[in-house]
Amino acid sequence: DKSASSPGGPATASSLEDDSAATFLFASESVTESHPDKLCDVISDAIVDACLTLDPASRIACETVCKTGVVIVLGEITTSASINYEQVIRDAVRDAGYDDPAKGLDYKTCNVIVALEEQSPDIAQSVDATKVEDIGAGDSCIVFGYACEETSELMPLSHVLATKLSARLAEVRKDGTLDWIRPDGKTQITLEYGNNESGVPVPKRVHSIVISAQHSEEVSNDKISADLMEHVVKPVVPEKYLDEKTLYHMNPSGRFVIGGPHSDAGLTGRKPTVDTYGGWASHGGGALSGKDATKADRSGSYAARWIAKSLVANGYCSRCQVQISYAIGLSHPMSVHVDTFGTCTNKNGMAERDLVRMVETKFDLRPGCIVKELDLRRPIMRKTAAYGHFGREEEEFKWEKVKEI
């Protein structure tokens, strides 16, 4: 039986390496930047960046939907910038590798529909402020941040590996290593975990890897399987986690020629677990992409990760989840909650209940202050749209820079 404290579901005895040990299985998944849903995130954030480049005070809530031969962008944007939205959209589709109808979409010929209006004046008056620090939250929301000691990034290993497998799928397509790969792709990895003496999940081994890669008509399944093992799995997954019992499923559907928006409609905000913590943390329900930082869904999520990572990195706990809630038009959060899953170290005499007070003292969680502190009016959002918003060391991602507390 699985450990009662594990977040995974029940596993059969045959699916675990050692049924007598207190281990459990946990899976995370990821998608390439060209997966239909992720393509929509990228397009929405490309529009965010285009606006912020010319007008850093732009207010943006931009949703994208795509299907065979068509991309539709709809939402509310208030900006002084003059943007050629159709060009921004076509450029993003091109960059995702969709340059041929056979791939599911062609940036040159696809129909582009733009249905954007200005932000509602009712919402605008509740957000507007003379000073950036006093900006009200652009909507009511609940956000979560997470960190743990599993990896150097202070992220869950299952999520890190799934994300790197997807990024590698795109890399071998772009650099020509595998000439049969097309843009769409998805990865899933299941790890076997055990709990240490403190009850913290520790990865033991890789139980299984599933990769689905869109491919050209002529390539054989045997070549697909061999190439994915050699050029995607081996460069990404540390050998120490692989053993003779690890299961591999390379394109288990048997055929994946029709892909991208041709096979599945895409929509902004439909990959929240891929964007965040691979299923290890709670999620407030709000999408991250397509929004400027006055939307607390986005800025609050970045701040919550900043707090959680800083608490773990500074030794206050081994694992941490932070919840923050906001109300539309109000600058100060309604609530802050810190859960260390029983791993609080009592550093500096700080019990878990004391950590909330410390967080509220050390971090100004008003949306305007988060925008200012993390410099979120820069055009850096498109970079976040694929391969996760967290656990990356890009210089622009200031929420990943540990604060000394």
Residues classed as catalytic: 35, 37-38, 63, 76, 186, 256, 264-265, 270-271, 291, 295, 297
Please state, as a whole number, how many other Cβ atoms lie within 10 Å of the Cβ of residue 331: 20
Distance of alpha carbon 98 from alpha carbon 101, whole angstroms: 8
CB atoms within 10 A of CB 288: 26
Q: Count of CB atoms within 10 A of residue 347's CB?
A: 12
What is the phi/psi pair of residue 266, to 5°? -110, 155
How is the beta sheet containing 23-31 ordered, strand by strand?
23-31, 181-195, 201-215, 247-250
| Number of Cβ atoms within 10 Å of the Cβ of 361 | 9
Secondary structure, 3-state, 256-304: CCCCHHHHCCEECCCCHHHHCCCCCCCCCCCCCCCECCCCHHHHHHHHH
The residues, ordered by sequence, that sit 6+ positions from 37 with a Cβ below 8 Å of its Cβ are 31, 266, 267, 268, 270, 271
CA dihedral for 41, 42, 45, 51, sign (positive or negative)? negative
Strands 23-31 and 99-100, sheet pairing: unpaired
Strands 23-31 and 181-195: antiparallel
